[in-house]
Each structure stands twice: as C-alpha cells, then as structure tokens.
Amino acid sequence: MCQAWPGPTARQPPNSCESWNEAPPEALSARIAEETAGNPLFVEQMVSMLVDKELLRRVDGPRRRARQVLCFMLALQVVALVGAGAWFVSESLVQMSLYRFSIFVQLLACTVVAVEVGRRVAARWLVGSASVGCAVMIVICLARGPFFGAFVMPRDDADYLATCDWVRQHTPVDAVFLVPPAESSFRLRARRAIVVNFKAVPQLSGELPEWRDRLTKVLALDDLARLPRGYRQTLRAVNERYASLSADELASAADAYAARFVVAPRPLEPRDDFRLVFSSPGGRYFVYDRTRTEDHGE
C-alpha cells in the first residue's frame, strides 16, 4: 500500500509515498482515525476517496515480484521441455540449457511451502518436525548413498584412478590415449587427451558425427544403435565390447587418431608396437606405449 496525504497541513509532502507489505503505517492510520473521528463509515469513505485520487493504493510488493519470477522460470521450463526436449526446434535453444533454471523454481516452491506451513503450524512443532526429517534423510543418505540410494551414478574404480595418477606423472603432457570408452575420469584425473569416451557427448550438432565415428571405430562397431538402451546397460555393453577387442583392433583405432598410449582392461597379445609400461595395483588395467622399442634405444 502506498500513501500521499493531500493538503498544506499534511505530515508528508504531496505525491510522496510510503510502501509496506501487510498493514498501513501507524501514522497514516492515526491520521485517518483523527479526521474521521473513528467512524467506520467515514473511514471507508475517506479511504475510497484517497484511492480514487490515486493518493492511496495497494502495492503487491515482494509477493507480486516472486510470482512474476516464478511464472517466468516456469515458462522457461515449458520452453525447454517443448523446444529442446519433446521436439527439436533449434540448436541454439538446446545450448541455452534452460532446464538448469529449474533450480529456481524448486527454491521458490520450497519457500512458498515453508511460509504457508509456518503460518499454520506452531513454531515448536515445525522446528521439531524439520529437525527429525533432516536427521532421517541424513541417516538414509549415509546408509544408502546420495538420492537415498535410488540412483547410483557409475564411477571409475580405484584401480582406474591409480592408472590415471600414474599416467599424469609418467607420460608426456601432449600424449593422446586410447581409453575404455565407458570411463569418465581420465581427462580430469590424468590430465591427458583421449580419443573418445561415451559420457562426453558434444553439445554442437556439427560435432556429433565425429563423436559417433570415433566411438564406432574404437568399439569396432558398424552402428551404435546395436548397443542396448539405458545408461547403465549401455556402459556395461561398451565395457564388454572394449574388453573383447584384440590388440590388432585397438592398434587400428589408435593409428586412426594418433594415439601413442592404449589403456586396456586385460593383457594384450604381444606386438612389436605394444610395450607394457604399467599395470594397475589390482591388475585390472594395463597401459601400453605404442612406440617401438628401438625408438627408445632399448
């Protein structure tokens, strides 16, 4: 609500405003009561007159702005679902990643629920219930993992991370590696370039054919559609396929993309251009240097 008291005897100058959320300022209420002698009919008429003259008006304030922000964020989600989810409208729309704004919708919704519950539930019960609820969620997550154990994101095992650490410390920084395509840690942990992996799907449509071609070459597949659907099932099939490849097939893929090193999940058949330089502590991964022994003076 906003007020501007008219006339030369006003306590505030004409056209000045004061905004508030719930009740009018005490000074304004007292002035209206004084001028109307507390008569409810006169109070109603006085307020109506001030409203008609646009000297007194209601302002929604923070609630209105919150509703506007919430509606805007919801509209973005609708656009993302329709134009970059159910249908393909444009690549630019996909790259905008509008779905990321859903976090604001969730936060605003939680705030609204908290405020409404706070108005209807005694504070001591609210604090107690929230404390118990948080404790229960923490215990479940500690026992079953993130997301209450409903979804477990596949991670690289300790042996693979140890392999990445060795690579970072013992190989040239500009070396290119052929790695199991189901992995996700090599570039971050080993800090070396790789030929391709399944997780790092390009964001630009023009790059997707190259990503597809690299995967088909590395896995020695004619068509990636042969892989099963579902993220976990796909990763499992990719792991199994890569583990079944021969040294000749791995060498062909490495040659195609100038990869000096090959990380294999099993010992490979002897080749002149495959020199074993590292095996993981658990014996699950083997790193081969494809430079010939004579190139090293051995």
Rounded Cα distance between 149 and 132, Å, is 20
Rg (CA), the chain: 33
Residue extents of the structural domains in the chain = 2-57, 62-149, 158-296
Q: Would strands 56-57 and 193-194 be described as parallel, antiparallel, or unpaired?
A: unpaired
Q: What per-residue confidence (pLDDT) applies to 58?
A: 63
Give the per-residue pLDDT at 285.
Answer: 97
- Measuring CA to CA, how many Å separate 107 from each of 100, 134, 135? 12, 17, 21
Q: Residue 286 has what pLDDT?
A: 97
**What is the DSSP track for 247-291?**
HHHHHHHHHHTT--EEEESSPPPPBTTBEEEEE-TTS--EEEE-S
Identity at 19, one-letter amino acid code: S
- Supply the angle between the helices 247-256 and 208-219 in degrees, to the nearest 10: 150
Q: Check residue 57 and give its pLDDT.
A: 67
pLDDT the model gives residue 183: 95
- Tens place of pLDDT per residue across the chain (298 aa): 444 444 433 334 344 444 444 556 677 777 777 777 777 777 778 777 877 777 766 666 677 777 788 788 888 888 888 877 777 777 777 777 787 888 888 888 888 787 778 777 777 787 888 889 899 989 988 888 777 777 777 889 999 999 999 999 999 999 999 999 999 999 999 999 999 999 988 877 788 999 999 999 999 999 998 899 888 899 999 999 999 999 999 999 999 999 999 999 999 998 888 999 999 999 999 999 998 654 544 4
**In 3D, which of 76, 135, 74, 77 has the Cα closest to residue 109?**
74
Give 88's strand partners.
84
What is the spatial distance between Cα 97 and Cα 168, in angstroms, rounded to a whole number? Answer: 33
Cβ contact 217:253 at 8 Å: yes
